[in-house]
Chains A and B, each alone.
Chain A
Amino acid sequence: MRFALAALLSHWRRKPLQLLTLVMGIALATALWSGVQAINAEARASYTRAASVLEQGALQQVVSKGGGGISIDTYGKLRRAGWNLSPVIEGTVRFGASWIKLVGIDPTTMPREGQVASITDGSDISSFFSAPGQLVVSAATARKLRNATDMRLKISENVPDDAAFVDISVADRLLDARGKINRLVVASEQRPGLDPIDQVAPETMLRENTDKPDVARLTDSFHLNLTAFGFLSFVVGLFIVYSATGLTFEQRRGTFRTLRSLGISLPALTTMLVVELAAFSLFSGIIGVILGYFIASALMPGVATTLKGLYGANVPGSLSIRPEWWVSGLAIALGGTAISSVRSLWRVWSLPILAAAQPRAWQRASAKTLAYQATAGGGLLLLSAVLAVTGSGIVIGFGVLGALLLGCALLLPGLLAISLASAERVSRTALTQWFWADTRLQLPGLSLALMALLLALSANIGVGTMVSSFRLTFLGWLDQRLAAELYVTAKDEDQATRLREWLPQHSTAVLPIWSVEGDVFGDQLQIFGVADDPTYRDHWPLIVADDNAWDEVASGKGALINEQMWRRGTAKPGQTIAMPGGWDATVVGIYSDYGNPKGQVIVGIDALVAHYPDVSKLRYGIRVPPESAPTLRQQLVSEFGLPETAIIDQISLKQQSRAVFEQTFAVTGALNVLTLAVAGFAMFSSLLTLSGIRLPQLAPVWAMGIRRRNLALYEVARTLALWLATFIAAIPVGLGLAWVLLAIVNVEAFGWRLPMTVFPLDWLWLGAVALVAAILSILVPVRRLATINPADLLRIFANER
């Protein structure tokens, strides 16, 4: 048995490149898969922690119906009625240069299950209570705040970055909330027989924690995206493994036959092969997991920033190896190898003992096989279309994607065969005819690699189109939305009043940015007031609008709703919506509100103040000629006495927004490149495999007077032609992919639809990258051919086959 195993393994000593291909294939597949999983797991764990700490987990919340906050009286009333709930006053506060999310809690009543228990528990609760107050923050936040506050800082690893827990009395003071409670956290355990909350305090309502599903949905979409990429790369990696195992099994048929005729039983042989494959896949899997860790570490800062920018979920930018990665990484390596080698193993199992020892080179795909594949591909495309039309939900969206991609991949070899046949038919010279015919002959051997390439290229084009569309739209939208030159925030109402008097003399227009939170159609959302100003009339992007929409808004009768509300079917133009506080407004327009997961309503500023007199009047946009913005900024500081930090100029705001956005897709871009690299490697290994069986096909042509150098050039041209054809095929597939992402997945995940913009120049760039990969992949096999000893060709030609 040992000698048999040695005989089997000796194959690898003679074919080290094949071994490398196999190991690399499994390792790359595992690496991308486990890298993406690692990012996912880490990010998920982090923002679950952040969300549960900030939002007190899955606990229900009581909020006010009118959006003005809950009064202390109401809180006392609910407590006396026996409801076990705890008040939270929260908001954003500036310490020095940093904005901190302040969460004011009452540790005496905060439910144990509210996660903050661990923060406020313990011995130094007195510090938490006593003046001047204590901020419980993460280590990173503590470093930022060290010299920015005289409050004590306590470091807790449970607090997400840029957030701070304080006693509610401190939050009340710092946020100038005057006892207005943002929400009441409801303990999960309540005494039976309580009067319903809306009966005890009709001005409030019980709300399931809607923030959480929203965040979950957003982040789910991001992770689904990543997972899709991870899976794609994995499949591409499996192609490599499939072709590598297929080849090694074919080449060892002679050995198998010899071993069997020497009395090694079929089960024993199969067992040896399974053990061999398992050992290889475990070894490669370990390499893959380690590789994946490095990929994840490299991408993690980007992911952390992305999540923070997109969803406000804070994720540490560092990574710790988790045991589940090892398990899942190795499992996927084993599973992948099993899937891609089961066919080869089956062939060994069913091999008659006296079968020809000659390797059959490569299974020739008959027209029937191609037709069968194409039919399956067509079926998948049909399924994709049906899903796109009838289904809804983000999972269906990705189903559409998957069916589209796989369908196209399956169609590809058939389409290529048809186009090559046509090229052959119209060829004038014998050589071109041979060229196309011979290219067609290579299709079966290359089709897996070409399919992988198609997937990688179209994913690249699709995601690239999506990103570029997003960027274009988003930046345009920023320009429109951030039309004012300066934005200022007053520290309190007194200062705000003075600002309102001072500013009009120094600027073209002062645009209040005031909002309240309230319940519209059962959703807690923001209601903004806008001044009647050309800034809005000229710049605000309205998707759908009545002719006199802005007049209606100014008059107080009309309201604008964001695209999200519209697409969700919450409201539509012409509809009257019941506003919190008991008044009505008619929807007169829809505006795009990218990046906002929630609904939003805009009404006239007068209406806002009239219906919600308590609205906080602290923020303003200021219009001045752009050249005088710096002067005004200076005046605001020196003459008016506003701190530098309370002023944001448009440019820096846009830069911040832009930076957040650019980071968002940096990760996607990196994964794109990696996927392409894996596809390139698949191509390389296939070509390498083919080059071994190419010589007999080329020898007669050489014998009939075509030089080796020309043959090599034809080989290059052949590969490039296939790459080109695949690339051209990838463009419509990629655009389809982008369309699905923008029009289906994005709408399902984010609630808004992006106009699709096509960037052919990006394709050229991608095409160039793909070309380099193609040339690299063919380089080794062709060099071999160009420098082959004529005697070898002669030997192949004359007898040895």
Chain B
Amino acid sequence: MTLSMTAVRKSYTTAEGVIEILNGIDLDVGASESVALTGESGSGKSTLLHLAGGLDHADGGSVIMQGQDLAKFGERERADYRRTQVGLVFQQFNLIPSLNVAANISFHAKLAGRYDAAWELDLTERLGLAPYLSRFPEQLSGGQQQRVAIARTLAARPPLILADEPTGNLDEATGDAVLELMLSLAKNAGSALLLVTHSMRLAHRLDRKVILRGGRIVE
């Protein structure tokens, strides 16, 4: 089992009081498995993703990744975990503005120590990014930037890819194509994929589908 979440709870304190976001989540993602995470807005999809990515702490329960308990991590281990174990593709592309496309794509792979030039070349060609390698993020369109963000994550070949509406900024046809590509490349890389989407159509293409409602998994 790659990722194993058990009885995970998370709440935020706001001006209106404590809001329970996640209320006892149990979720396992196997190696190379792709799981779609759907639900209404505010159902806690993104928060679940943040917890799995080591970006945030859970209030209760456990998040076990490759046999390691994230709750026991300090900041250093957390950073190591983010660098080596997960790849993030968020709605905001989060590219590094000072690096060009090529450098952005290889950045995470190099940090994770899994840089593979041939694999990267293959990726960029398949994602249609080859003509843009020397451009800077600000010189790209939204779709292009999203593909760079996907390429960056896939290039690092992390055990777990966390994606939050990765094709939200693309039109339907392009989005579908990119998703297909992403799925197949993730399989090639041997990465598990946890993907947040509220499109059921997209959700069906993945191995498994999980629906989140009121901080619990209902399906």
Contacts and interface: CB of A to CB of B under 8 A. Distances in A.
A434 B152 CA distance: 14
Interface in A409-452: 429-431, 433-434, 437-438, 440-441
The 5 lowest CB-CB distance pairs between A and B, nearest first, are A705-B83, A430-B110, A705-B82, A437-B98, A700-B94
A791 interface: yes
A440 B98 contact: yes
B7 to A, nearest CB: 22
A666 B50 CA distance: 61
Contacts of A437: 96, 98-99, 103
Q: Which of A440, A707, A790 has the most CB of B within 10 A?
A: A707
Interface stretch (B14-22, B58-66, B73-81, B126-134): B73-81
Contact of A697 (B46, B97, B108, B111): B97
Interface string B95-117: 11111000100111111100000
A710 B79 CA distance: 10
Contacts of A434: 96, 98-99, 103, 107
B56 A797 contact: no
B84 interface: yes
Contacts of B92: 797-799, 801
Given A430-B110, A430-B111, A798-B92, A707 B76 contact: yes
A791 B91 CA distance: 18
A433 B79 contact: no
Contact of A700 (B75, B95, B110): B95
B215 to A, nearest CB: 18
Contact of B96 (A697, A797, A799): A697
Chain A interface size, as a band, is 20 to 34
Interface string A671-715: 000000000000000000000000001011111111111100000
Interface of A: 429-431, 433-434, 437-438, 440-441, 697, 699-710, 790-791, 794, 797-799, 801
A797 B111 contact: no
28 contacts: A430-B109, A430-B111, A433-B103, A434-B99, A434-B107, A438-B98, A441-B97, A697-B98, A700-B94, A703-B55, A703-B82, A704-B82, A704-B83, A704-B107, A704-B108, A705-B81, A705-B83, A705-B111, A705-B112, A706-B83, A794-B50, A794-B55, A797-B92, A798-B55, A798-B90, A798-B164, A799-B91, A801-B92
Contacts of A705: 79-84, 111-112
A598 B146 CA distance: 77
B88 A703 contact: yes
Contacts, number: 82
A794 B94 contact: no
A580 to B, nearest CB: 75
Contacts of B56: 790-791, 794
B88 A431 contact: no
Contacts of B81: 705
Contacts of A704: 82-83, 88, 107-108, 111
A342 to B, nearest CB: 28
B168 to A, nearest CB: 12
Given A434-B107, A699-B94, 5 more contacts: A430-B109, A437-B96, A438-B96, A441-B97, A801-B92
Contacts of A700: 94-96
B133 to A, nearest CB: 14
B99 A797 contact: no
Nearest to B56: A794
Nearest to B109: A430
A430 B88 contact: no
A707 B54 CA distance: 12
A700 B81 CA distance: 15
A697 B94 CA distance: 8
Nearest to B75: A707
Q: Which of A433, A438, A699, A703 has the most CB of B within 10 A?
A: A703
A741 B50 CA distance: 62
Contacts of B50: 794, 798
Contacts of A441: 97-98
Contacts of B110: 429-431
Contacts of B103: 430, 433-434, 437
Contacts of A431: 110-111
A799 B50 CA distance: 12
B82 A701 contact: no
Nearest to A697: B97
Nearest to A439: B98
Contacts of B109: 430
A708 B97 contact: no
B79 A706 contact: yes
Given A703-B94, A790-B55, A794-B55, A708 B88 contact: no
Nearest to A797: B94
Contacts of B90: 797-798
Nearest to A438: B98
B105 to A, nearest CB: 10
A430 B55 CA distance: 21
A757 B108 CA distance: 52
A564 to B, nearest CB: 57
Contacts of B94: 699-700, 703, 797
A650 to B, nearest CB: 65
B95 A430 contact: no
Contact of A430 (B75, B80, B107): B107
Contacts of B91: 799
B143 to A, nearest CB: 18
B63 to A, nearest CB: 16
Contacts of B107: 430, 434, 704
Contacts of A440: 98
Nearest to B76: A707
A700 B88 CA distance: 10
Contacts of B88: 703-704
A797 B111 CA distance: 19
A705 B75 CA distance: 10
Interface in B32-84: 46, 50, 53, 55-56, 75-76, 79-84
B98 A430 contact: no
A697 B46 CA distance: 21
A515 B94 CA distance: 84
Q: Which of A429, A433, A440, A705 has the most CB of B within 10 A?
A: A705
A526 B98 CA distance: 69
B154 to A, nearest CB: 14
B80 to A, nearest CB: 6
A701 B96 CA distance: 7
Q: Which of B50, B76, B92, B109 has the most CB of A within 10 A?
A: B92
A799 B45 CA distance: 14
Interface string B186-202: 00000000000000000
A801 B93 CA distance: 11
A434 to B, nearest CB: 6
B45 to A, nearest CB: 12
A433 B99 contact: yes
A724 to B, nearest CB: 20
Nearest to A435: B98
A433 B56 CA distance: 28
A112 B164 CA distance: 95
Contacts of A709: 75
Nearest to B95: A700
B91 to A, nearest CB: 7
Contacts of B84: 705
B178 to A, nearest CB: 20
B75 A797 contact: no
Nearest to B110: A430
Contacts of B108: 430, 704
Nearest to B152: A704
A750 B102 CA distance: 61
A707 B95 contact: no
Contacts of A703: 53, 55, 82, 88, 94
A430 B106 contact: yes
A175 B109 CA distance: 93
A699 B94 CA distance: 8
Q: Which of B79, B99, B107 has the most CB of A within 10 A?
A: B79
